[in-house]
Structure 1
Amino acid sequence: MFQTIPRAPLILGLAGLLPFLWGALTVLFPDLGLWTAQTLGPRFAGPYVMLFYGAVILSFMSGVLWGFAARATGTLATTGYALSVIPALWAFFMTGGGPTSAGMNLIFGFAGLLLLDLQFARWGLAPAWWMPLRLLLSAVVIACLAVGVFL
């Protein structure tokens, strides 16, 4: 699976997981969370770093999907553009109301994003390596968010 993903997207994608992983670690290890909150600030510890960064990444992914839609023409392009704004709107409207509900909504948002990724790949608008990368990254993101929600 990894050999089919170009090196730069794989490394950058894995690097993009660091805030999620850090957030999950600070939930699993409260002393690390306390140190982080005292040293870097509370926004960088626990579920809060995952929630803030998750909303940013869903918005970023809207831009990626918009770029894929730009490869299409006619009705397919229009459909692609319309679908591409859903992750950003989801992040905007669904991440309030406290860390548990925001975390659950981000989990649903990233799962929904994976379905959008699959559709854009089926339309031939995403590169062939896109789904292996997105499956890997989404699995880690959803697992980290689940740590913040359920632990």
Structure 2
Amino acid sequence: MTDIPRSALILGLAGVIPFAWGALTLLWPAAAQWGTATLGPRFVGPYVQLYYGAVILSFMSGVLWGFATKAAGARAATGYALSVVPALWAFFMTGGGPVSAGMNLVFGFAGLLVLDYAFWHWRLAPVWWLRLRGLLTLLVVLCLSVGVFL
């Protein structure tokens, strides 16, 4: 991880905090009670994970769009088309209850990692990108799995 820029690593890990907080409030009722009383019910348990997960998938669509601007011709068109998939996935697949929505977010983040690989393979993403995205995806999937499987 030493070749990942420190700021990208720190900010990426900070971006996992809402997922981890959601998992913590699912596992520890006292944290859920405190969070509900202090932050409101939308900011605990699966609610914070699902809402934030949809936001992050949409954000990552923008990141991929930015990578696509480095390409030309058919590769650029493919990049632009693929870049909107995470946002569309979040929009269409996060309804239907917390378990199915959480599972769909797990699939969405796994699919995003495949897209990250494609953009990295095409040399549109930084050389360190896949290491950062692999770590963050693992952490996010673990946190979302608390709400899906426990």
Q: Which residue of the partner structure matches residue 79 of structure 1?
A: 78
Q: Which residue of the partner structure matches residue 109 of structure 1?
A: 108
- 2:87 counterpart SS class: helix
* Higher deviation after alignment, 33-42 or 113-122: 33-42
The amino acid across from 1:56 in the alignment is V
Q: Which residue of the partner structure matches residue 34 of structure 2?
A: 35
Deviations 1:69-123 (CA, angstroms, capped at 9, x unpaired): 0000000000000000000000000001110110000000000000000011110
For this pair of structures, how many residues does the alignment match?
A: 150
Report the CA distance between 1:31 and its aligned residue.
1.5
Q: Which residue of the partner structure matches residue 25 of structure 1?
A: 24
Q: Which residue of the partner structure matches residue 5 of structure 2?
A: 6
Q: Does 1:119 align with 2:90?
A: no
Deviations 1:41-81 (CA, angstroms, capped at 9, x unpaired): 11110111000000000000000000000000000000000
Q: Distance between the aligned counterparts of 1:72 and 1:63, measured in 2? A: 15
Q: Distance between the aligned counterparts of 2:135 and 2:40, measured in 1? A: 29
The amino acid across from 1:47 in the alignment is P
Please give the TM-score of this superposition, normalised by the length of structure 1.
0.98
The amino acid across from 1:140 in the alignment is L
Percentage of pairs with the same residue: 70
Aligned alpha-carbon RMSD (Å): 0.6
Q: Which residue of the partner structure matches residue 46 of structure 2?
A: 47
Unaligned stretches of 5+ residues in structure 2: none
The amino acid across from 1:121 in the alignment is W
Report the CA distance between 1:30 and its aligned residue.
1.2
Q: Distance between the aligned counterparts of 2:21 and 2:31, measured in 1? A: 10
Report the CA distance between 1:35 and its aligned residue.
1.5
The amino acid across from 1:81 in the alignment is Y
Report the CA distance between 1:34 and its aligned residue.
1.5
Q: Which residue of the partner structure matches residue 132 of structure 2?
A: 133
Q: Distance between the aligned counterparts of 2:23 and 2:62, measured in 1? A: 26
Q: Distance between the aligned counterparts of 2:138 and 2:106, measured in 1? A: 10
After the TM superposition, which residues 50-65 of structure 1 pair with which residues of structure 2 at under 5 Å, given as runs? Answer: 50-65=49-64
Unaligned stretches of 5+ residues in structure 1: none
Report the CA distance between 1:148 and its aligned residue.
1.0
The amino acid across from 1:59 in the alignment is S
